[in-house]
Amino acid sequence: MIISSTSVTAQKKISDAIEEFLTGAPARVEADRMLATVLFTDIVGSTEKAASLGDKRWRNLLDDHHATIRRMLAPSVAVR
């Protein structure tokens, strides 16, 4: 059996109305959202620093930088 989105919407409205009738309260709406924070960091003079260090040492510096940021934020991070 194929159920169209229209009939699913209609079924949801009917079940919400029945729930409100039985409980006396409107159906709870499940939010499909979350609050997120994005952190950007900047290493001042990074282009010159990368050129002077070379690829391998620069990569190591970035890895250390990212590990430090993760460690500092870890106590307050719920989801990554």
pLDDT tens-digit readout, 38-58: 888 888 999 999 999 999 999
Give the C-alpha separation, 69 to 49, whole Å.
Answer: 19
Give the C-alpha separation, 64 to 80, whole Å.
Answer: 18
Q: Which helix (H) or strand (E) holds 52?
A: helix 46-53
Residue-level pLDDT at 73: 86
More confident of the two residues 6 and 59: 59
The domain segmentation of the chain, as residue ranges, is 1-33, 35-80
More confident of the two residues 77 and 24: 24
More confident of the two residues 6 and 69: 69
Number of neighbouring beta carbons within 10 Å of residue 50: 16
What is the tens place of the pLDDT at every residue in 57-73? 999 999 999 999 989 88
Mean pLDDT of the chain: 84
